[in-house]
Amino acid sequence: MIRRDAILFAGLGVLILALAVWLKVPTTIQLLVTASAYALIALGLNVQWGYAGLFNVGVMGFLMVGGASVVFVSYPLNDAFWSSDGPFMLLKAIIAAIAGGLLIWGVTRIPKTGSLKKVRGFLLVVAWAVAYVVYRSQIDPAAVLIEEKAGFVGGLGLHPLFGWAAGGVMAGIIAYVIGKICLGLRSDYLAIATIGISEIIRALIKNMDWLTRGTLTVSPIPWPTPLPADIAAAGMDDATMSVILARSGFLAVTVILIAVIFFFLQRAYNGPWGRMMRAIRDNHVAAGAIGKNVTKRELEIFVLGAILMGIGGAILATYVQILDPSGYQPINHTFIVWVMIIVGGAGNNWGALFGAVFIYIVWTISEPASLVLFSMISDLSEGAGIGAIPDIESRALQMRVFVLGLVITFALRYAPQGMIPERVRTDD
């Protein structure tokens, strides 16, 4: 690392210490936990964009998948569901889905040449339609029954770490499908497709009440580490101290996770695999010409990035202990991550890490700060006889969105490399 980077990280440390004094320690740890989740997400996006130049504007979707996965895997068992007909009907729906999938698969096996090639496309459409109708005919009554008898399916009651892993896996599967379709086309198509899938995931999680309780929200999601209440029950008398201990425990888990992932990402980046990825990013055609399977490599990296995002999303939901689909907004969950890596330095993991923590802190304290600023302007305008600004809280919040956009456009123009730019080692 170069001296400038060390100074930047030291500055970040000082900022965190100042926050600890200003906002008190428990709030600061809370901020750091969330920032660490975002750091993981930013690393995921950095892998996709910084390593391979894949433009993903559907980060929010992957975070929601992670959140929903941790609910399904780690929320306690719902006895009302398991004692109803629900599991049986769901099983039927799953069998219907598999049967439909097999039907579609079977049709795709029809060779593209030969006597059946003309009807192949038509049969494929029919197969999809049949599969869809069969699946809907099973899932719809199952959904109605589950919502009536049990509310929702509940979870599997496993340890949250399994939930996080499941979040990564699910996000990876979705990324695989999207990548399979869009990679190899212009990056604009990937951008459109990812923004689409993230909106659809939001619609699904919001409306599939039988699985996620939708807008009714699910809580509390268990923590991987003891909750403040557990620590208090174990004999800690000081309430603040038990909060600090519990949050620190959670933070320790996320920090270790990031450290491990970061270590492997750095090694991969500086190794032959990283060189190949940079070659592909910087010159598709040439990389293809020397025999690299460009699209396949890009698919790998797209899935890898999505896995990190899924885990990060699972951590976010776990920490706040609630899955609230209405709480997910593209601004807070997609575009802020973009700002993190653009400002931090795309292509450099240290940059992504720095950007994530720094931008998250700025974003969080900008809420009170913009309110203060707007109150001052409001006082001024009132003093000048124009009158106070109405709805001052919501307007102040919107100003942050504006600033976020401004930061992106200005960073692209004046500091496209970011604060900790990509450095390619050439002397090894």
Report CA-CA distances (Å) from 80 to 72, 149, 150, 373.
15, 7, 5, 51
The span from the CA of 225 to the CA of 229, in Å, is 11
The span from the CA of 242 to the CA of 234, in Å, is 10
Q: Which is nearer to another protein, 204 or 255 (CB)?
A: 204
CB atoms within 10 A of CB 319: 20
- Give the shortest CB-35-to-another protein separation in angstroms: 21
- Give the shortest CB-145-to-another protein separation in angstroms: 14
Using CB under 8 A as the binding rule, whether residue 199 contacts another protein is answered as: yes
Among 80, 126, 192, 365, binds another protein (CB under 8 A): 192
Report DSSP state, residue 75: S
* Single-letter code of the amino acid located at 261: I
- Give the shortest CB-206-to-another protein separation in angstroms: 8
Using CB under 8 A as the binding rule, whether residue 191 contacts another protein is answered as: yes
Q: Which is nearer to another protein, 327 or 330 (CB)?
A: 330
Q: Which is nearer to another protein, 270 or 398 (CB)?
A: 398
Using CB under 8 A as the binding rule, whether residue 408 contacts another protein is answered as: yes
Q: Which of residues 328-347 bind another protein (CB under 8 A)?
A: 330-331, 335, 338, 342
Site string for another protein, 115-154 (x = CB under 8 A): -------------------------x--------------
Among 27, 84, 187, 332, binds another protein (CB under 8 A): 187
Q: Which of residues 48-77 bind another protein (CB under 8 A)?
A: 53, 55, 57
CB contact set of 178 (below 8 Å; sequence gap of 6+): 58, 190, 193, 194, 197, 302
Among 16, 110, 126, 401, binds another protein (CB under 8 A): 401
Among 87, 120, 123, 206, binds another protein (CB under 8 A): 206
Helix (H, G, I), strand (E, B) or coil at 158: coil
Beta bridge partners of 218: 323
CB atoms within 10 A of CB 340: 30
Q: Which of residues 368-397 bind another protein (CB under 8 A)?
A: 391, 394-395
- The residue written with tokens 């049986």 in the block is 88
- Give the shortest CB-115-to-another protein separation in angstroms: 22
Q: What torsion do the CA atoms of 55, 35, 310, 258 make, to the nearest 10 degrees?
A: 100
**Which residue, among 90, 38, 103, 77, has the nearest Cα to 361 in the 3D structure?**
38
Phi, psi of 389 (to 5 degrees): -80, 125
Question: Helices 349-383 and 392-414 meet at what angle, rounded to 10?
Answer: 130
The secondary structure of 104-121 as a DSSP string is: HHHHHTS-SSSTTHHHHH
Using CB under 8 A as the binding rule, whether residue 188 contacts another protein is answered as: yes
Residues in binding contact with another protein, number by CB under 8 A: 45
**Which residue, among 221, 246, 219, has the nearest Cα to 231 in the 3D structure?**
246
The span from the CA of 350 to the CA of 276, in Å, is 20
Q: Which is nearer to another protein, 302 or 319 (CB)?
A: 302
- Give the shortest CB-410-to-another protein separation in angstroms: 8
Among 399, 417, 421, 423, binds another protein (CB under 8 A): 399
- Kindly tell me the sign of the dihedral angle through the C-alpha atoms of 13, 18, 22, 25: positive
Using CB under 8 A as the binding rule, whether residue 280 contacts another protein is answered as: no
Among 3, 118, 413, 425, binds another protein (CB under 8 A): 413
Residue spans of beta strands (DSSP E) within 196-332: none
Among 127, 193, 244, 309, binds another protein (CB under 8 A): 193
- The residue written with tokens 């900008």 in the block is 366
Choose the stretch contacting another protein; rule: CB under 8 A; options: 60-68, 148-156, 190-198, 224-232: 190-198
Using CB under 8 A as the binding rule, whether residue 400 contacts another protein is answered as: yes
In the complex, which residues of this chain contact another protein (CB under 8 A)?
Answer: 53, 55, 57, 140, 181-182, 185, 187-189, 191-193, 195-197, 199-200, 203-204, 206-207, 330-331, 335, 338, 342, 391, 394-395, 398-409, 412-413, 416
